[in-house]
Amino acid sequence: MRSAVPYLWLLLIFGVLSGSASAAPVAATPRCFPESGYCIRGPIQAFFETQGGVAVFGLPVSAQRTELLDGQPVTVQWFERARFEQRNGTVELGRVGVELLRSYGVDWWTLPQGQPAQGCLYFDLTRHTLCDAFLIVWQSFPNAITIFGAPVSEPRWELHGGQNATVRMTQWFERARFEMDVNRVVFGTVGAELLARQPGVVVPDPVTDLPPPRVIPTPTIVIGK
């Protein structure tokens, strides 16, 4: 039976109008976050503020810096739930969901695949389905493919939440991880978790070097029934 949980708090998030921040006005004054000690500026700040802000991406957990991605130098800034990549004034989001799974030794292509079902979205490219509460949240963002990407797993029980970890129904996406926390969907801290796995990196509190997610062998909830 499908859940009918109110997600109005997400529907009130800033409208997502574009996949690139290059067309958005760039603020002249950087915005700083005392909670993590980092600031955002330029095109990355414009993307952050027009595509969802803290509610979607969390706090910045690094300064803007140059990293090698696919052998090319790219201006990068890490957030709790994302990695922003700036190339020639255009900002895109890194595939941190896929990369975090890979860092745990998980090839998402080997995960159980979904099947087309009534009331669900089926993604031919990744062979996974999106249903129920996760579908409601995903569809509330007009630019969901740009922000979250396509699903790369089916929903499954996993343990998340660090020291206060709880068992949550979880679905992985190219750039995100959706978790059902009691009666609401939250976005997992995939950016901070991936960054923390880099040697010598200390991620600002409250995020620490978290262990890999543990799949819980409990009865699977059949989505779409």
Evaluate whether residue 36 is within a structural domain: yes
- Cα–Cα distance, 212 to 161 (Å, whole number): 11
Evaluate whether residue 157 is within a structural domain: yes
Domain housing 81: 8-215
Evaluate whether residue 193 is within a structural domain: yes
Evaluate whether residue 224 is within a structural domain: no
Evaluate whether residue 220 is within a structural domain: no
pLDDT in tens, 29-65: 999 999 999 999 999 999 999 999 999 999 999 999 9
- Cα–Cα distance, 137 to 171 (Å, whole number): 12
The predicted model gives 196-218 an average pLDDT of 54
**How far from each other are the two terminal CA atoms of the chain, in whole angstroms?**
6
- Cα–Cα distance, 109 to 113 (Å, whole number): 8
Evaluate whether residue 2 is within a structural domain: no
**How many structural domains compose the chain?**
1
- What percentage of the chain reaches a pLDDT higher than 70? 76
Evaluate whether residue 84 is within a structural domain: yes
Q: pTM (2 decimals)?
A: 0.79
pLDDT in tens, 52-109: 999 999 999 999 999 988 888 999 999 999 999 999 889 999 999 999 999 999 999 9
Evaluate whether residue 3 is within a structural domain: no
The predicted model gives 13-42 an average pLDDT of 68
